[in-house]
Amino acid sequence: MSKKPVVLVTRKLPEAVEDRLRRDYDARLNPDDRLYTSDEVIERASGADAILPCHTERFSAQVIERLPDSVRAIANFSVGFDHVDLEAAKARGLVVTNTPDVLSDATAELTMLLILGAARRASEGERLVRSREWRDWSPSFMVGTQVTGKRLGIIGLGRVGQVTARRARCFEMTIHYHDVRRLPPEHEAGALFHETVEDLLPHCEFLAIHCVATPETHHLLNAERIALLPDGAIVVNAARGSIVDDEALIAALKSGKLTAAGLDAYNDEPNIHPGYRELPNTFLMPHIGSATRETRDAMGFRALDNLDAIFAGREPRDRVV
């Protein structure tokens, strides 16, 4: 009987995914779901053939250099791969994969929750009910922003962005977008293309961020670009925190330039900028865009499909390096 490949799993995964891991691999699981330090990842990877991490583990060039020689692949349990230094992985000869497609619906649902929650002051309202400070009904009480019929700008009309656009059209929203290149008409589905972010922003009563985190998109939404948005616009981010300049966004929320923000991704998670917590016009979620049972199972199975291909000598479906 051939020896099963050893796979280090850095976080606790859904039960069905761990069952498959135990069946097909010599799996080193993390039943307590403890966040490993980089040193612990390196130590626990001793003799492992592959690592199955989440975006919570960072594989810098220094970490990749220190990984045991036995490690052949990093099969991410995430669609994002900005936590892995791809150049260092390539130089080391590591295969790196991700889990696209399967979380588009769940993340688009969460984006609509952010849009609605921010626009209709959901955080404020829930606090009032829970604290028993809600007194009565009044025409001037808790007045928010209507979503139906507004213009939604999307930065990054990829898999998630396209599903978000479809959901938003159910609210009769007009879709504007910017991407690195214009999409074919069948993918645009009537969305209006803008060649630059600067061209897009003046049209955005709502702005949804769905682009990839790269050095080029770091702090893409900064003070200069926020100034281009219509007064009273609402910004939501279910992508990566690094795309937003926190200080600039908080200043715009304080000044009234922006009505509200809905956020599910932050810089330095979970130690987010304290200014977000202090503002009444922020609707904050703890990075749960993909957190449905169906999606988390599908992400795990997709990561394992990639590992299966690697150890069978085939090209993995979702190779990024």
Q: Active-site residues: which are they?
A: 240, 269, 287
Nearest to 276 by CA among 263, 293, 289, 287: 263
Pair 74, 89: CB distance under 8 Å: yes
Find the DSSP H helices in 156-292. 159-169, 185-188, 197-200, 223-226, 246-255, 274-278
The backbone torsions φ and ψ at residue 230, rounded to the nearest 5 degrees and listed phi first, read -60, 150
Alpha carbons 302 and 207: distance in angstroms, whole number: 30
Here the tokens at position 222 are 């900064």
Which residues on neighbouring strands pair with residue 193, listed in sequence order?
177
190: left (phi over 0), alpha (psi -120 to 50) or beta: left
- Token digits of residue 63: 């970490």
Please tell me the distance from the alpha carbon of residue 124 to that of residue 131, in angstroms, as a whole number: 11
Burial class (CB in 10 A: 0-12, 13-18, 19+), 139: exposed
User: d(Cα 31, Cα 54) in Å, to the nearest integer?
Assistant: 15
Helix extents (H) in 72-148: 86-92, 104-119, 122-130
CA–CA dist 179, 160 (Å, integer): 13
- Token code pair at residue 248: 């600039």
* Cα–Cα distance for residue pair 306/314, rounded to 1 Å: 9
Q: Are 147 and 119 in contact (CB under 8 A)?
A: yes
